[in-house]
């Protein structure tokens, strides 16, 4: 069975904007959302290998839902300027990469996805919808699944039941009852997921719930009766259209050859150096040469911290630094069992300190007491204003938590960022250092 991949570009655009660091190019223009979406597109193509594909975005302006309910999405703040300016160059990148792009006026991207899903099923295709939007769950049925490329979550009919408590064919009724605060669509006041699932389990569907509204007791029953006239409108708002007028055939929804010249120009402008390097197929020997040259140009000031004075000097240093890299050395990889052996700190390239606290090899240097070190570092570790960066900081969080310290102020985790941006590549520190810094570790 051939496969159709439908990508909810608007959903990923917002998610990438809020999840990604504030990447900027040489002109100080924001690029993080573009990077996040393009990376997701690359990952989806690599992992899903579809025969047909479309990336769908919301069009500018109002939709038919605004005519039904003028307050639809009225609670949403205006789009941030840093996000708005990334839309056009993102669309350029998508088209240059050969991915079919669809922007249909008067409807939402979800409606286009619903229409193409129906069309794909009629043509006996397997449908994979890549989105983080719960509204799409109503479309799931045999041969239709959802994959959230950013989280790795996959949903089929049983997955929807496990997550929401109802099967996909009752998701519209479920959403009508609970409402949608994100889109400013009221449901039944004080009715949440548990009550909605209970009612649907007992009565079967929304129409039956409305028909039996007089039998439901308590405040929620009263609220239901007050909402009876409104619920059909809610249902209309949350139901995705499957009949959007789209003049496109499946044969038009195939990957086209990349426009490598345009892609290179855009990646250069956006300062996407890693992808530009891949595009130009730079050789490993060139990277190694760069690494050698780079290492020679970085001044090295690495200190072993074995006295209270040195420790206090370093605490002063990290307290005024804008960003400090931190890592723990331990006796094992199980964060609940491992013992702390040492702590490394760095405030800039070539300037780092290591605090040994638990080494026990022959002739090891004198070490500071672990409890003393942690007592002095605790205020800095727990200060949310002291920005920290590290690799797989979840591990370090557990290690410090074992000692009664709740580390805060995490600005970046290079392991997580690597997974989000380059899921198809290695994420260990050695690989990241060589790939992005040209350094061998």
CATH number, domain with residue 49: 3.40.50.1010
Q: What pTM value is reported for the model?
A: 0.66
Same-domain status, 340 and 389: yes
Query: Does residue 114 fall inside a structural domain?
Result: yes
Query: Does residue 199 fall inside a structural domain?
Result: no
Q: Angle at the Cα of 265 (from 259 to 271), degrees rounded to 5?
A: 125
Q: Give the domain-ending residue among 207, 233, 252.
A: 252
Query: Does residue 149 fall inside a structural domain?
Result: yes
Query: Does residue 145 fall inside a structural domain?
Result: yes
Helix runs in 126-272, H state only = 157-164, 171-178, 193-203, 206-211, 218-227, 231-238, 260-270
Convert the pLDDT of each residue in 310-349 to its tens digit: 999 999 999 999 999 999 999 888 888 889 999 999 998 8
Sheet-wide strand order for 324-330 = 301-304, 351-356, 340-348, 324-330, 388-390, 410-413
Find the domain containing 368 and state its range: 283-437
Same-domain status, 49 and 154: yes
The three-class DSSP label of residue 413 is: strand
- According to the model, what pLDDT value does residue 282 have? 40
Rounded Cα–Cα distance for residues 15 and 9 (Å): 10
Helix runs in 103-156, H state only = 109-122
Query: Does residue 303 fall inside a structural domain?
Result: yes
The DSSP H or E segment spanning 424 is: none
Same-domain status, 315 and 248: no
Same-domain status, 156 and 62: yes
Query: Does residue 159 fall inside a structural domain?
Result: yes
Please state the domain count of the chain: 2
Query: Does residue 223 fall inside a structural domain?
Result: no
Residue 237 φ then ψ, to 5°: -70, -40
Sign of CA dihedral 82, 20, 179, 238: positive
Rounded Cα–Cα distance for residues 311 and 353 (Å): 9
Q: What secondary structure letter does DSSP report for 257?
A: P
Q: Angle at the Cα of 114 (from 54 to 66), degrees rounded to 5?
A: 110
CB 131 within 8 A of CB 103: no
CATH number at residue 330: 3.30.420.10
CB 50 within 8 A of CB 126: no
Same-domain status, 350 and 247: no
Unique residue bearing structure tokens 């719930």: 209
Same-domain status, 298 and 421: yes
Query: Does residue 175 fall inside a structural domain?
Result: no
> What Rg, from alpha-carbon coordinates, does the chain have?
27
Rounded Cα–Cα distance for residues 322 and 318 (Å): 8
Same-domain status, 410 and 305: yes
Taking only the tens of pLDDT, the chain with its 441 residues reads 999 999 999 999 998 898 888 899 999 999 999 999 998 898 888 888 999 999 999 999 999 999 999 999 998 889 999 999 999 999 999 999 999 999 999 999 999 999 999 999 999 999 999 998 889 999 999 999 999 876 778 899 999 999 999 999 999 999 999 999 989 999 999 999 999 999 999 999 999 999 999 999 999 999 999 999 999 999 999 999 999 999 899 999 999 999 999 999 999 999 998 888 888 764 343 444 444 444 445 567 889 999 999 999 999 999 999 999 999 999 888 888 889 999 999 998 888 999 999 888 767 778 999 999 999 999 999 999 999 999 999 999 999 999 999 999 999 999 888 888 776 677 888 888 877 777 766
- According to the model, what pLDDT value does residue 441 have? 65
Same-domain status, 247 and 327: no
Residue 98 falls in which region: left (phi positive, over 0), alpha (psi -120 to 50) or beta: left
- According to the model, what pLDDT value does residue 281 have? 60
Count the residues in the chain: 441
Same-domain status, 19 and 129: yes
What is the C-alpha end-to-end distance of the chain, expressed in Å? 46
Same-domain status, 359 and 248: no
- According to the model, what pLDDT value does residue 333 have? 82
* Residue 401 neighbours by CB under 8 Å, 6+ apart: 407
Residue 389 φ then ψ, to 5°: -135, 150
Same-domain status, 7 and 112: yes
CB-count exposure of residue 4 (10 Å: 0-12, 13-18, 19+): buried
Same-domain status, 311 and 420: yes
Q: Give the domain-ending residue among 252, 274, 304.
A: 252
- According to the model, what pLDDT value does residue 153 have? 84
């Amino acid at each position: 069975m051939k496969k159709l991949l439908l990508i909810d570009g608007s959903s990923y655009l917002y998610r990438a904007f809020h999840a990604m660091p504030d990447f900027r190019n040489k002109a100080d223009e924001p690029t993080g959302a573009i990077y996040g979406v393009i990376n997701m597109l690359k990952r989806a193509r690599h992992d899903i290998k579809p025969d047909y594909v479309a990336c769908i975005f919301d069009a500018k302006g109002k939709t038919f839902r605004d005519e039904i309910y003028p307050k639809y999405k009225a609670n949403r703040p205006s789009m941030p300027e840093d996000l708005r300016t990334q839309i056009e160059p993102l669309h350029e990148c998508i088209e240059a990469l050969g991915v079919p792009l669809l922007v249909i006026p008067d409807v939402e991207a979800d409606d286009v996805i619903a229409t193409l899903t129906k069309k794909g099923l009629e043509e006996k295709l397997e449908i994979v919808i890549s989105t983080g939007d719960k509204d799409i769950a109503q479309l799931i049925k045999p041969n239709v699944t959802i994959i959230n490329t950013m989280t790795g979550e996959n949903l089929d009919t049983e997955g929807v039941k496990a997550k929401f408590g109802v099967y996909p064919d009752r998701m519209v009724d479920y959403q009508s009852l609970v409402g949608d605060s994100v889109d400013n669509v009221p449901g039944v006041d004080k009715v949440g997921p548990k009550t909605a699932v209970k009612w649907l389990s007992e009565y079967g569907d929304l129409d039956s719930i409305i028909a039996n509204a007089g039998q439901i007791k308590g405040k929620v029953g009263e609220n239901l009766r007050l909402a009876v006239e409104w619920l059909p409108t809610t249902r209309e708002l949350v139901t995705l259209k499957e009949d959007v007028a789209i003049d496109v055939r499946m044969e038009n929804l195939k990957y086209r050859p990349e426009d490598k010249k345009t892609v290179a120009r855009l990646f250069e402008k956006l300062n996407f150096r890693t992808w530009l390097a891949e595009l130009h197929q730079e050789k490993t020997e060139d990277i190694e040469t760069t690494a050698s040259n780079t290492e020679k140009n970085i001044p090295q000031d690495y200190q072993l911290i074995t006295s209270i004075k040195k420790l206090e000097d370093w605490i002063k240093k990290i307290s005024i630094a804008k960003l400090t890299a931190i890592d723990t050395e331990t006796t094992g990889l199980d964060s609940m069992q491992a013992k702390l052996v040492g702590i490394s700190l760095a405030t800039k390239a070539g300037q780092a300190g290591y605090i040994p606290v638990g080494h026990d090899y022959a002739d090891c240097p004198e070490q500071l007491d672990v409890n003393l070190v942690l007592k002095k570092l605790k205020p800095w570790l727990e200060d949310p204003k002291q920005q920290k960066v590290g690799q797989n900081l979840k591990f370090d969080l557990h290690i410090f938590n074992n000692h009664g310290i709740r580390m805060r102020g995490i600005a970046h985790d290079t392991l997580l960022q690597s997974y989000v941006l380059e899921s198809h590549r290695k994420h260990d520190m050695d690989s990241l250092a060589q790939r992005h810094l040209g350094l061998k570790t």
